[in-house]
């Protein structure tokens, strides 16, 4: 890990570790090579993924900030670490879909690759022990997971982020199929985009070839995911860790 001020592990997720720093309101997020799929049933590693996803997230978050979307990222600290604002995560996974894939195809019988007539926003309960179940707005309200105005705002932000990511990727020959977002509140109550944006959390298809450039390669054992993750980063025009 990056040397420097004392850090205390605050949370260890499936692909990231979050550390407290000496500064209140800030944390360090370390991206690892660990990969899981199907709610942890399939476990492994995608070599070099920590570096690639850290850089990819850093680029996407900076692009979104430039377009007025507040995020938790402050700056990249090292090849595998971001400095971020500390947030209390809203316990909802916000999924946006442009094209049918994954659980949408499994649940609804729509063939993979079917374009959707408009982007869909779905909410799931961020609960690994329950397998992140899909939620209706009534579920969210009755279970008191988030106030209605926050849910409405999450949908507006998710759709705006979709438009920004989609057009950014179109220009780079990549189709944005679907993705998952997480949001959180900072100590002063600001709602910001949190977590990561990477091939672990998005489906990206090479527009020209249809090749998958995301975690589906790992999920379905379709070959080495590292070159695909790297290709995606290359398309973003990464130039390395900022000094
Ligand atoms: N996703 C994610 N974390 C999750 C579930 C989904 O990052 O816990 C992402 C996934 O990579 C895809 C999108 O959200 O880009 C939609 O996933 P889907 O519901 O199709 O689930 P999956 O096929 O992963 O079971």
Per-residue tokens: 14: 């499936």
Ligand 1 geometric centre to CA of 208 (Å): 23
Q: What is the pLDDT of residues 77-133, one digit of tens each?
A: 999 999 999 999 999 999 999 999 999 999 999 999 999 999 999 999 999 999 999
The pLDDT assigned to 39 comes to 85
The pLDDT assigned to 243 comes to 45
SS (H, E, C) the chain: CCCCCCCEEEEECCCEEEEECCCCCEEEEEECCEEEECCCCEEEECCCHHHHHHHHHHHHHHHHHHCCCCECEEEEEECCEEEEECCEECCEEEEEEEECCHHHHHHHCCCCCCEEEEEEEEEEECCHHHCCCEECHHHHHHCCCCCHHHHHHHHHHHHHHHHHHHHHHHCCCEEEEEEEEEEEECCCCCEEEECCCCCCCEEEEECCCCCECCCHHHHCCCCCCHHHHHHHHHHCCCCCCCC
213 lines ligand 1 (CB under 6 A): no
Q: What is the pLDDT of residues 175-185, one digit of tens each?
A: 999 999 999 99
Percent of the chain with pLDDT over 90: 93
The pLDDT assigned to 6 comes to 78
Q: Which atom of ligand 1 is nearest to the CA of 132?
A: 8
- Decide if 16 contacts 32 (C-beta within 8 A): yes
Minimal-distance CA residue to ligand 1 atom 3: 201
- Whether pTM > 0.85 for this model: the answer is yes
The pLDDT assigned to 197 comes to 99
Minimal-distance CA residue to ligand 1 atom 10: 201
Count how many residues are written for the chain.
243
The pLDDT assigned to 40 comes to 86
Kindly tell me the sign of the dihedral angle through the C-alpha atoms of 128, 175, 218, 9.
negative
Minimal-distance CA residue to ligand 1 atom 7: 201
207 lines ligand 1 (CB under 6 A): no
Q: Which atom of ligand 1 is nearest to the CA of 203?
A: 15
Domains of the chain, first to last: 4-85 (3.30.200.20), 88-223 (3.30.470.20)
């Amino acid at each position: 890990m990056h040397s420097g001020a004392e850090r205390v592990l605050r949370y260890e997720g499936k692909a990231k570790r979050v550390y407290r720093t000496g500064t209140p309101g800030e944390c360090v997020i370390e991206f690892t090579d660990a990969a899981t799929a199907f709610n942890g049933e399939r476990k492994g590693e995608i070599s070099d993924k920590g570096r690639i996803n850290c850089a990819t997230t850093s680029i996407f978050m900076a692009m979104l900030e430039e377009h007025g979307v507040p995020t938790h990222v402050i700056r990249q600290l090292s090849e595998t670490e971001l400095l971020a604002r500390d947030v209390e995560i809203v316990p909802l996974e916000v999924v946006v879909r442009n094209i049918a894939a994954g659980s949408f195809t499994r649940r609804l019988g729509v063939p993979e690759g079917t374009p959707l007539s408009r982007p869909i926003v779905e909410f799931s309960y961020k609960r690994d022990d329950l397998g992140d179940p899909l939620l209706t707005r009534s579920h969210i309200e009755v279970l008191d997971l988030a106030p209605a105005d926050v849910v409405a705002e999450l949908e507006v932000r998710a759709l705006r982020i979709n438009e920004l990511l989609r057009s950014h990727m179109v220009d780079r020959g990549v189709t944005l199929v679907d993705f998952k977002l997480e949001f959180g509140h900072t100590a002063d109550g600001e709602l910001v985009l949190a977590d990561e944006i990477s091939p672990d959390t998005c489906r990206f298809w090479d527009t020209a070839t249809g090749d998958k450039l995301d975690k589906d390669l790992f999920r379905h054992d379709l070959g080495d995911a590292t070159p695909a993750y790297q290709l995606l980063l290359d398309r973003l025009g990464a130039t390395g860790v900022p000094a």
